[in-house]
Structure 1
Amino acid sequence: MRHSVAAVLLFAFIATVAGAEHDVLDLGDDNFVSTLKQHETTLVMFYAPWCGHCKRLKPEYAKAAEIVKDDDPPIKLAKVDCTEAGKEICGKYSVNGYPTLKIFRHDEVSQDYSGPREAIGIAKYMRAQVGPASKQVRSIDDLAKFLDTKDTTILGYFSEMDSNLAKIFLKFADKNREKYRFGHSEDKDVLKQQGETDKIVLIRAPHLSNKFESSTIKFEGDTESDLSTFVTENFHGLVGHRTQDTSRDFQNPLITAYYAVDYLKNPKGTNYWRNRVLKVAKEFVGQINFAISSKDDFQHELNEYGYDFVGDKPVILARDAKNLKYALKDEFSVDSLKDFVEKLLDNELEPYIKSEPLPESNDAPVKVAVAKNFDEVVINNGKDTLVEFYAPWCGHCKKLTPIYDELAEKLQDEDVAIVKMDATANDVPPEFNVRGFPTLFWLPKDSKNKPVSYNGGRELDDFVKYIAKEASTELKGFDRSGKPKKTEL
């Protein structure tokens, strides 16, 4: 019986995906131009069957096509296999990486696609590309249909479209059409129903409605800047749904609850835990931000705190204004979360630091720093210091290793420390902006709070000349130009 149920579920899943794929136009050299000419707006994915990123995108792409298939104005999604039927077309549009996505108006390229890569985000982004930035609502029935949505909406009610408030609204909508959903009405019956002729309101998505905050918030400002601030501060509410596409909206200090967040398949279960976070969040308005995130979508963040697995209850993680990390160690509850927030705000918690174990011996010329000994080995060592942040898999880092080792040996008797740190296995202090590997910083011994990014050459002589010039006191073995000093016999 168990196998039968599994087979039925598998068949249903395959059927759903296959059905959605029917909504994606399959184009090649022979039908590309003729098909696109028939459609006003088309998103085209240029792909290769062997491409891993393409394989991950295709089911989301198919779901997006299914979401928008009945839209008015119409939107089409298409795909082109650059290895077979679409070789010439892919060459014409200079496709040299996969997947490449472009938006077409009929058979002419309008722009490169730079939006989300998940179904709902793709649909939302493409809907913003068609028609006016704000949809005109022409009747009460039209308003009801427009508000039957899963998106948060910014809605303007205006007695005259040339009023100052309407102009502010339309200008803001045009600048933010890809990010937010806009509508407006000047219909007399709609305005009468509202009881107010000129206003802008933000209406949160129905699935995010809760008893702790209003679902509709009125804009009280006078300028476009005021409107931008209003939307930014209110769009996600007390506890926003933080996704990969919206993660940049959530600023530190931030507390995030990670669990099985899924508003498509389990909205009730998702809001069960969100409501408990909301109960705490309402007591700390203006002091700290709150969010919920899918544990599956943000496993990389969980790994940063040492979590390989999240059970049924949420895991609570936080970052303060300095981007230091904190974790709720107790089992999640309303009381434990409230206690955690209070202690975080009162600076009573120890930051979580991801660190390798302390090295058993650190006697080699190149000193090894880990998060646990970073202050000792780098900051408080009493020496000028050159520190390299590397990744074990990085080819450039491997190439640098013998040069770095030789540098450390050459300067072993100098008042200079040569240090390395695996930045993938240890938390890097926030003042070191490590965005790639290897990244190197120079720290003069008397101003360790101001690390200087090293952007010089990577050969031995380059390092020696730099250190000889920048050293707090002249090196014993080299003059300021980096030339070896003569040794007296």
Structure 2
Amino acid sequence: MHRPRWLLLLLLLLTLVGVPAPGGAGEEAVGTGGPLADEEANGPGSPPADEVLEEGDILVLHRHNFDRALRAHPYLLVEFYAPGCGHCQALAPEFSKAAALLKNVSSELRLAKVDGVVEKELSEEFAVGSFPALKLFKLGNRSDPVDYSGRREAGAIVRWLLRKAGPSTTLLEDEATAARFIDSQDPVIVVVGFFSDLQSDNAAVVTTIAEDAVDFSFGLTDRPELFQKYGVSRDTVVLFKKFDEGRVDFPVDGDLDLEEFSQFLLSHSLELVMEYNSQTSSKIFEAKVLNHMLLFVNQTLDSHRALRPAFYEAAAPFRGQVLFVVLDVAGDNNHVLQYFGMNATAVPTLRFINVETTRKYMPQPGPVTASSVTAFCQDVLGGKIKHYLKSQEIPPDWDQRPVKVLVGKNFEQVAFDETKNVFVKFSRPQMPRGVPTARRWPRSGRSWRASTRRMRASSSPSSTPPPMSSKPFLSLASRLSSISLPGRGERWWSIKVPGTWRPFPNSWTAVASCQLRSPSPRKWGLTARTGAKMNCEEPLPSGPPERVLAFPSGGDPL
């Protein structure tokens, strides 16, 4: 077909400036993601979108290169982090050390990181709830990563990965191999399973535990000569350690119980008496032993160091039930002394604490001997000693005004008086929100003085057990609620007052006469004397500078 001369000139001009002609071969390349499109999208000279870059020895991953990294590395431990996270920043140097160590071990084991804030899709896909989160992806499997929950130290991370990638146990076939394995200095605990049948279920239990218990070395043997050499006559798991008694046997009668065996390893992997310091604190608190007996001493004094043998002697019968700890007040442990309300001049002394309830116990004054430590421990476990509260001294005029002053030493006596309904205001001194309340509280206290069954009190939060929150709210004590008061059968309900105290126009006098409309422990309607009505729900969202608790005499709602 004959084309006009002007059209031919136009096509020639378009060709010269590089614009594809309509319907030409170049039209398919526009927006198709070819090499030219990739370069234009990522910038001149930039790598392809799925290329895996490194920072140090750590792979940097995002949604475009994640699958490529999984295919390239059979065992990939990925850290999901947030740039502003303090825990992530603390982990960073240990993670880098672990990556450098692994680079010299195997190309199959690599560490990677993902910015979990930027890569929200990946964080959601792998159910990352907090940072940092470490997940192991094995053999390219994207759907079932394994969470890492061990210590955030380079050595622990490397041992855990090696254990996951390789055999978790070592087969001991002769005396020389067994001797080298048991006498090795790292780690300090070696576990050997002596089984007549290595294919048994009991041997499989040891193998399963070995995959995660990276602080131990695990071996297995079925050789009769090794049974004889180590004095084993039947199926037994033997724990060899380089402290305390040196060896502990766990005979296997019938089926090896996974939970019982795990508890055995836990209780005997800890030293009978632990020394508290910055290196051991995490191990102490990670132990599943909730009761701790503490001996506070000054290690610079010979008389204090001489107490340790008696403490060791008392500890043995309580292994697995109570963790015995020595704390040196001459070290960097002032924060512990403050927590117990002590000072360094009070040592040597003992304290007992349950780390789950945080209840603390102190013995009667006297010398620290094996018998006194044993008796103190038995009395606490037997419920014969009452826990104590950190407390200020009782003010001389604490009960001379309409509002009584409570501290830890008189809190239970007054707040739990079964002949009175008691409202207690918890406040922090010099808090701005506490000023209006401080003015109204004595006024409403005077209005209650005529009643013999009602009392109003004020208390400092540092001397009393209930938790604080950030907005004013009421708590009504009752046996029907879900939070137990220490040392009593009664309980309290927490009720949040929205905004300020305005729902009660007659200030605190109205609060005194509010009543529960519904017995439901989840939702109430409150009616004050003025007729104002409000609905309150639990649980409370967060923490106040002051609060009010109501302790009813008979346990019934006010």
In structure 1, distance between residues paired with 2:83 and 2:428:
31
Distance 1:399 1:126 in 2: 54
Structure 2 residue 491 is matched with structure 1 residue 452: yes
1:413-432 alignment runs, 5 A limit = 415-419=453-457, 421-423=459-461, 425-426=462-463, 428=465
Q: Distance in 1 between matches of 2:125 and 2:270?
A: 42
Aligned-partner SS, 2:492: strand
Of 187, 212, 218, 1:178 maps to 212
Task: Give secondary structure in 2 for the equivalent of 1:156.
Answer: strand
Give the Cα separation in 2 of the matches to 1:355 and 1:420. Answer: 14
- Counterparts of 2:306 and 2:255, CA distance in 1: 34
Alignment of 1:459-474 (within 5 A): 468-469=515-516
Q: How does 1:122-271 map to 2 (within 5 A)?
A: 122-123=157-158, 126=161, 129-131=164-166, 134-140=169-175, 142-144=177-179, 146-147=181-182, 148=184, 149-163=186-200, 167-171=201-205, 174=208, 177-179=211-213, 181=216, 182-187=218-223, 190-191=226-227, 193-196=229-232, 198-206=234-242, 209-210=243-244, 213-219=245-251, 221-225=253-257, 227-228=261-262, 230-240=264-274, 243-247=281-285, 249=287, 251=289, 253-257=291-295
Shift in Å, 1:336: 4.0
- Separation in structure 1 between the aligned mates of residue 298 and residue 158 of structure 2, nearest angstrom: 23
Partner of residue 475, structure 1: none
The alignment status of 1:281 with 2:312, answered yes or no, reads yes
Is the 2:340–2:390 Cα contact (8 Å) retained in structure 1? yes
One-letter amino acid matched to 2:235: K
User: 2:413 matched to 1:376?
Assistant: yes
Residue matched to 1:99: 132
Residue in structure 1 matched with residue 537 of structure 2 by the alignment: none
One-letter identity of the residue aligned with 1:215: R
Identity within the alignment, %: 20
1:27 equivalent in alignment to 2:60: yes
Give the 3 Å change call, closer, same or farther, for CA 105–222 of structure 1 in structure 2: same
| Shift in alpha-carbon separation, 1:466–1:204, aligned structure 2, 3 A | farther
Deviations 1:239-273 (A, max 9, x none): 25764245253546532357999xxxxxxx9xxx9
Query: Which 5+ residue runs of structure 2 have no aligned equivalent?
Result: 1-53, 480-484, 505-509, 518-524, 532-558
Distance 1:125 1:258 in 2: 35
Deviation at 1:219, TM superposition (A): 2.8
Q: In structure 2, what residue type is equivalent to 1:286? A: P
* Structure 2 residue aligned with 1:116: 151
Q: Secondary structure at the match of 1:282?
A: helix
CA contact (8 A) 1:328 1:337 kept: no
SS of 1:286's equivalent in the other structure is helix
Q: Partners of 2:208 and 2:529 in 1: how far apart?
A: 64
Verify: 1:324 aligned to 2:350, yes or no.
no
Gaps of 5+ in 1: 1-20, 262-268, 471-479
| TM-score, structure 1 as length reference | 0.63
Following TM superposition, by how much is the alpha carbon of 1:91 offset from its aligned partner in structure 2, in angstroms? 7.5
- Between stretches 294-303 and 93-102, larger displacement belongs to 294-303
Q: In the alignment, residue 312 of structure 2 is paired with which amino acid?
A: A
How has the CA–CA distance of structure 1 residues 439 and 162 changed in structure 2, closer, same or farther, with 3 Å as cutoff?
Answer: farther
Instruction: State yes or no: 1:385 paired with 2:419.
Output: no
For residue 454 of structure 1, report the CA deviation from its aligned partner: 0.8
Answer whether contact 2:194 2:222 (CA < 8 A) is retained: yes
Which secondary structure state, in structure 2, belongs to the residue aligned with residue 224 of structure 1?
Answer: coil
Aligned-pair distance for 1:372?
Answer: 2.1
What residue is the counterpart of 2:38 in the other structure?
Answer: none
SS at match of 2:131: coil
- Describe the shift of the 1:379–1:47 C-alpha distance in structure 2 as closer, same or farther (beyond 3 A): same
The TM-score normalised by the length of structure 2 is: 0.57
Q: Report the secondary structure of 1:285's partner residue.
A: helix
AA in 2 matched with 1:178: D
Following the alignment from structure 1 to structure 2, what is the Cα–Cα distance between the partners of residues 314 and 67? 44
Partner of 2:15: none
CA distance 1:79–1:426, change in 2 (3 Å): farther
Report deviation, 1:319.
Answer: 2.9
Structure 1's 24 and 314: CA in aligned 2 closer, same or farther, altered over 3 A? farther
Q: Is the 8 A contact 1:243 1:293 kept in 2?
A: no
Q: 1:372 to 1:465 in 2, by over 3 A?
A: closer
Partners of 1:325 and 1:193 lie apart in 2 by 48
Query: Is 291-300 or 450-459 further displaced after alignment?
Result: 291-300
Taking structure 1 as reference, are residues 51 and 230 closer, same or farther at Cα in structure 2, changes over 3 Å only? closer
Contact 2:403 2:441 in 1 (8 A): no
Q: 1:114 to 1:399 in 2, by over 3 A?
A: farther
